Chain A
Amino acid sequence: MSGPDGTSVVELRGASLHYGSHSLWEGLDLHVGPGEFIAVLGPNGVGKTSLLRVLLGLAQLSSGRVTVLGRPPRRGSPLVGYVPQQRAFDPGLPLRGRDLVHLGLDGHRWGLVRPVSGHPALVSAALNEVEAQAYADAPVGLLSGGEQQRLRVAQALISDPALLLCDEPLLSLDLNSQRVVVDLLDGRRHRHETTVLFVTHEINPILPVVDRVLYLAPGSWAEGHPDEVLTSDTLSRLYGTSVDVLRVRGRVIVVGAPDEPDAALGAPGHAHVHRSEHEDRGDRS
């Protein structure tokens, strides 16, 4: 599935990110190919969102190399879609779902808007893809979180991206809406080979569709199949303290991870754990 021979959608080599003297992650290597669904996990403040910002061209690596679709990340590339977490729109916001999706196509463009706006067919197609036609003309502020997130997915997909970056898109959604959004993303990557990089603190809703997991912990990281990474062994090594990973009725529960009370994650197996310079870097389990 991954390897130096395959086409690269996301490529990180020895990538590090620091803010001042504070290091978020170090020596990160990652190769992601077309159509892969990658979960990016880890506790708050470990630099998951910062990783997405690097891939969006909004932040620079402190050291190392990064390419997206074979080139350095470029701000505003139409080949990269972005789905942020759901946030409450003001009920009085003068914006319909249709407008929100349309902005994903040309919202960044300068210049006069033609009276008959340019791309009703593309907007319609995007709305159909996420089955949001029924409420496309309602004010976005009156829609439920799940409906808003469908529109978000449509907004991200309308430029026909090869890479979709999702930042906690399921946060504050009910279980049913979570499933709908995950199915939309999974369906998209199977039909169009769209690569999905999915930042989340909650693996369970996406566990059935995830190919690989990138687990970022303070000062170290691990990458591999969920069954390899999400184990008591690997996470204990990552955190440098005793962490238990339980599997209950097909769900993954992590107990004892610092800064992550009752977070839910992984399954048994083995994975490579990478540590930054002060620790036993290159340690293999």
Chain B
Amino acid sequence: MSFANLLGQHFVHTALLAGAVVAVLSGAVGIFVVIRSMSFAVHAVSELGFTGAAGALVLGVSPVLGLLVGSLIVGAVLGALTVRGRERDAAVGSFLAFGLGVGVLLISLYRGYATKALTLLFGSIVGVNDAQLAVLGGVAVLVLAVLAFAYRPLLFSSVDPEAAEARGVSLRLMSILLLLLVALATAEAVQVVGVLLVLTLVITPAAAATRLTARPMVALVLSIVIAFGATEGGILLSLVKPWPTSFFISAISFAVYVVARGVGAARETRAGRAVATAEPRAPVRAATEVP
């Protein structure tokens, strides 16, 4: 089938719509993830979502349901454990390892088609049907609404936890809330790019965006735009060349990130110069004070 013919197919429309929904969600949540340096926690949530999905397969229920439940449980636990986001690396790692071990067991117990499990790992956007699209859309609306409502305390607790706490923001509540949102966004992204490539939508676009601007709201929008471009571009390219969609999405996403790093380095140098001109810096003080 030609590219033009494919573009007329219903399943392609569904895939593009699902991709758009997932991209907007991942891009938005991703900014907070990047600010808090919690890529590893996202990785853990997605892989343990896989464990949940594997469990669902064994029980004979919808793997997407298992994915959601698994991600949410892990998100809540990690949120409660890692209040400052960047701490407790080892805690995340320990949960991740055990959860994956359980996932391996569940897959070995599963007597159905192995491709279903493989799909979870590497994603299959063209497999999304209308009913799944409706669920994707509903979850996305919920997450974006919560994100909009909690934007300021989430940002405050992410960029400046000490001051945020002093102004009455509960760091623990924000940590749990964010990880629940991450869990939902991750469960969505898994259905497009798979467990192993979730970071390409949740981390890479946001990381690129933070290189391009110092305005938090602009960074959020840029992150969404980049995730959107990578997802839709990846889906379209996979219609032209029958390679995995996940590969194209991660390639575009990474290319934008590399360019953004370059642009960002130039911007930083300029900004650094501007700051230096605005106020000459005093020499760094030695450890012991000189009278």
Task: List B contacts of A174 (CB < 8 A).
Answer: 282-285
Name the segment of B14-22, B45-53, B189-197, B209-217 touching the other chain.
B209-217
- Contact status of A93 and B166, CB under 8 A, knowing A176-B282, A177-B282: no
Task: List B contacts of A84 (CB < 8 A).
Answer: 162-163, 166
Asked if A208 lies at the interface with its beta carbon under 8 angstroms from chain B, I say no
Report the separation of the CA atoms of residues A89 and B37 in the bound assembly, to the nearest whole angstrom.
Answer: 12
Asked if B264 lies at the interface with its beta carbon under 8 angstroms from chain A, I say yes
Name the interface size band of chain B: 35 or more
The reply to whether B272 and A76 form a contact with Cβ atoms under 8 Å apart is no
Asked if A104 lies at the interface with its beta carbon under 8 angstroms from chain B, I say yes
Asked if A121 lies at the interface with its beta carbon under 8 angstroms from chain B, I say no
The reply to whether A94 and B279 form a contact with Cβ atoms under 8 Å apart is no
Name the interface size band of chain A: 35 or more
Select A110's contact among B37, B150, B155, B275, beta carbons within 8 Å.
B150
Task: List A contacts of B275 (CB < 8 A).
Answer: 135, 138, 142-144, 147
Distance (Å) between the CB of B124 and the closest chain A CB? 33
Select B289's contact among A134, A152, A175, beta carbons within 8 Å.
A175
B-contact 0/1 string along A155-194, CB 8 Å cutoff: 1100000000100000011111100000000000000000
A-contact 0/1 string along B247-290, CB 8 Å cutoff: 00000000000000000100010011011001101111100110
The reply to whether B279 and A103 form a contact with Cβ atoms under 8 Å apart is no
Task: List A contacts of B37 (CB < 8 A).
Answer: 90
Select A155's contact among B35, B163, B264, B272, beta carbons within 8 Å.
B163
Report the separation of the CA atoms of residues A139 and B35 in the bound assembly, to the nearest whole angstrom.
Answer: 13
The reply to whether B279 and A107 form a contact with Cβ atoms under 8 Å apart is no
Report the separation of the CA atoms of residues A91 and B289 in the bound assembly, to the nearest whole angstrom.
Answer: 27
Report the separation of the CA atoms of residues A268 and B217 in the bound assembly, to the nearest whole angstrom.
Answer: 55
> In A13-39, which residues have CB < 8 Å from any B CB?
none
Asked if A226 lies at the interface with its beta carbon under 8 angstroms from chain B, I say no
The reply to whether B163 and A142 form a contact with Cβ atoms under 8 Å apart is no
The reply to whether B167 and A142 form a contact with Cβ atoms under 8 Å apart is no
The reply to whether A75 and B209 form a contact with Cβ atoms under 8 Å apart is no
> In B93-110, which residues have CB < 8 Å from any A CB?
none
Task: List B contacts of A96 (CB < 8 A).
Answer: 214-215
Asked if A99 lies at the interface with its beta carbon under 8 angstroms from chain B, I say yes
The reply to whether A104 and B163 form a contact with Cβ atoms under 8 Å apart is yes
The reply to whether A138 and B271 form a contact with Cβ atoms under 8 Å apart is yes
The reply to whether B215 and A146 form a contact with Cβ atoms under 8 Å apart is no
A-contact 0/1 string along B137-178, CB 8 Å cutoff: 000000000001111110110011011111111000000000
Task: List A contacts of B217 (CB < 8 A).
Answer: 113
Asked if B31 lies at the interface with its beta carbon under 8 angstroms from chain A, I say yes
Distance (Å) between the CB of B165 and the closest chain A CB? 7
The reply to whether A93 and B35 form a contact with Cβ atoms under 8 Å apart is yes
Select B210's contact among A94, A108, A146, A251, beta carbons within 8 Å.
A94
Task: List A contacts of B153 (CB < 8 A).
Answer: 107-110
> In B188-246, which residues have CB < 8 Å from any A CB?
209-211, 213-219
> In A47-78, which residues have CB < 8 Å from any B CB?
56-58, 75-77
The reply to whether B289 and A264 form a contact with Cβ atoms under 8 Å apart is yes
The reply to whether A111 and B149 form a contact with Cβ atoms under 8 Å apart is yes
Residue of B nearest to A253 (CB): B291
Report the separation of the CA atoms of residues A17 and B6 in the bound assembly, to the nearest whole angstrom.
Answer: 71
Asked if A4 lies at the interface with its beta carbon under 8 angstroms from chain B, I say no
Asked if A249 lies at the interface with its beta carbon under 8 angstroms from chain B, I say yes
Distance (Å) between the CB of B210 and the closest chain A CB? 5
List 12 additional A-B contacts (Cβ < 8 Å) besides A108-B153, A177-B282. A91-B268, A94-B214, A100-B160, A107-B155, A107-B164, A107-B169, A137-B214, A140-B214, A142-B275, A147-B279, A175-B285, A202-B289
* Residues on B facing A (Cβ under 8 Å): 31, 35, 37, 148-153, 155-156, 159-160, 162-169, 209-211, 213-219, 264, 268, 271-272, 274-275, 278-279, 281-285, 288-289, 291
Question: What 9 A-B pairs have minimum CB-CB distances, sorted nearest first?
Answer: A76-B168, A107-B156, A82-B166, A134-B278, A94-B219, A139-B214, A174-B285, A84-B162, A176-B282
* Residues on A facing B (Cβ under 8 Å): 56-58, 75-77, 80, 82, 84, 87, 89-96, 99-100, 103-104, 106-113, 134-135, 137-140, 142-144, 146-147, 152, 155-156, 165, 172-177, 202, 204, 248-249, 251, 262, 264
